[in-house]
Amino acid sequence: MSLTVTNLSKQYGQQLAVDNISFSVQQGEIVGFLGPNGAGKSTTMKMATSYLPPTSGSITINGLNVVEQPMAVKRIIGYLPEHNPLYLEMYVHEYLQFVASVYGLTKKETVKRVGEMIELCGLTKEQNKRIESLSKGYRQRVGLAQALIHNPQVLILDEPTSGLDPNQILEIRKLIKQISEQKTVILSTHIMQEVQALCDRVIVIHQGKIVADDLLKNLLTGKKEQVVLVVEWDGAAPLSAIESINGVEKVEMDKHLCRITTQRSDEVRAAIFRLSTDRNQALLSFKVEENTLEDIFRSLTITSAAV
């Protein structure tokens, strides 16, 4: 049991930022913390790193209570805060050495680890530059390097790829994947592809509550029965005829595209083809809309907003 959160709540004045959430993360797992802005992701992470105290509930990391033994916890976690704050006037080398020394690494270890991190994070060319002169992607690597320098067992990354260009995102993801094999990783994001690319498990948080906590593949297949077929007809769509097909739940017109919701995709698709040949009306396009994580995210965070 690497990281356990039990009945955790956080109140800021009147606002309940995190509302009684519980989950646990095992070693070797990469968990994606997903949610709209202001859902409570960062607050939860700040509490897990002992930066903020919980209003109620507890967090234990490797059996250590974060509130009671903050020093021991800080030593075993690596944390990349949101917006990746860095000492801009420091040199890359100097900064990593400072962080290493704070974690109590000896001089020899410091030199070795700093060298390894610079290589691992692809900072070899930039290592003698000031952080302020680096581009955002390289700064993000410096942020990751400082979070990893003491080889932490638990890695907490708050939006590690925000504000990067697509190439940089791919590189940072590769890096996270590479380093995370033996570690417990929690990363927050609101980019769906990121979760699909990196995580084994997803926790969706909305308005301070957990609205989904499942393996990624379960979440993706969970609502598979319901499928949307998007059909483009040559000429006006025969709406009444489609509605009378057995198994069709809903038919909507989206401009000239006809969206058909059904749970019995195979039968309905066959029926639509038959309908098209019977009426001698051609189908210009026909596709099955995949149930993407984005849809799941939207349905989870919008429906629960209405409640």
Partner 1 sequence: MIHVFKKEFNGFLHSLIAYLVIGIFLTAMGLLIWVFPETSVLDYGYADLDTLFSMAPYVFTFLIPAITMKSFAEERKLGTLELLLTKPLTDWDIVLGKFFAAFALVVVALLPTFIYYFSIVKLGNPVGNIDTAAVVGSYVGLLFLAAIFCAIGIFTSTLSNNQIVAFLLAAFFSFLMYTGFDSLSSFAGSQALLVKQFGILYHYESLGKGLIDTRDIIYSLSTAGLLLLFTKVVLGSRLW
Q: Of 71 and 306, which CB lies nearer to partner 1 in the complex structure?
A: 71
Query: At its nearest, how many Å lie between partner 1 and the CB of residue 119?
Result: 23
Report DSSP letters for 62-80, one per residue.
TTEETTT-HHHHHHHEEEE
By CB under 8 A, residue 53 contacts partner 1: yes
Compute how many other C-beta atoms are within 10 angstroms of the C-beta atom of residue 4. 18
Query: At its nearest, how many Å lie between partner 1 and the CB of residue 102?
Result: 5
User: Exposed, middle or buried by CB within 10 Å (0-12, 13-18, 19+), for 252?
Assistant: exposed
Q: Of 58 and 261, which CB lies nearer to partner 1 in the complex structure?
A: 58
Query: At its nearest, how many Å lie between partner 1 and the CB of residue 61?
Result: 12
By CB under 8 A, residue 109 contacts partner 1: no
Nearest residue to 19 via CA among 5, 29, 31: 5
Q: Of 69 and 261, which CB lies nearer to partner 1 in the complex structure?
A: 69
- CA dist 161 and 193 (Å) reads 11
By CB under 8 A, residue 123 contacts partner 1: no
Query: At its nearest, how many Å lie between partner 1 and the CB of residue 80?
Result: 9
By CB under 8 A, residue 6 contacts partner 1: no
By CB under 8 A, residue 49 contacts partner 1: yes
Q: Of 110 and 207, which CB lies nearer to partner 1 in the complex structure?
A: 110
Q: Of 75 and 209, which CB lies nearer to partner 1 in the complex structure?
A: 75
Cβ–Cβ < 8 Å for 260, 228: yes
User: Which amino acid is located at 91 in the chain?
Assistant: Y
Q: Of 32 and 152, which CB lies nearer to partner 1 in the complex structure?
A: 152
Residues 10, 41, 46, 139: which binds partner 1 (CB under 8 A)? 46
By CB under 8 A, residue 307 contacts partner 1: no
Nearest residue to 205 via CA among 90, 80, 38: 38
Judged by CB under 8 A, the number of residues near partner 1 is 28
Q: Which two tokens stand for residue 261?
A: 């919701």
Report DSSP letters for 91-150, one per residue.
BHHHHHHHHHHHTT--HHHHHHHHHHHHHHTT-GGGTTSBGGGS-HHHHHHHHHHHHHTT
Query: At its nearest, how many Å lie between partner 1 and the CB of residue 214?
Result: 29
Q: Which two tokens stand for residue 288?
A: 């099955």
Q: Which residues pair with 15 in a beta bridge?
A: 12
Query: At its nearest, how many Å lie between partner 1 and the CB of residue 89?
Result: 5
Strand order in 227-233's β-sheet?
A: 248-254, 257-262, 227-233, 283-289
3-class DSSP state of 280:
coil
Query: At its nearest, how many Å lie between partner 1 and the CB of residue 290?
Result: 39
Q: Which of residues 137-156 bind partner 1 (CB under 8 A)?
A: 146
Q: Which of residues 70-89 bind partner 1 (CB under 8 A)?
A: 71, 74-75, 77, 79, 81-83, 85-89
By CB under 8 A, name the binding residues for partner 1: 46, 49-53, 71, 74-75, 77, 79, 81-83, 85-90, 94, 98-99, 101-104, 146
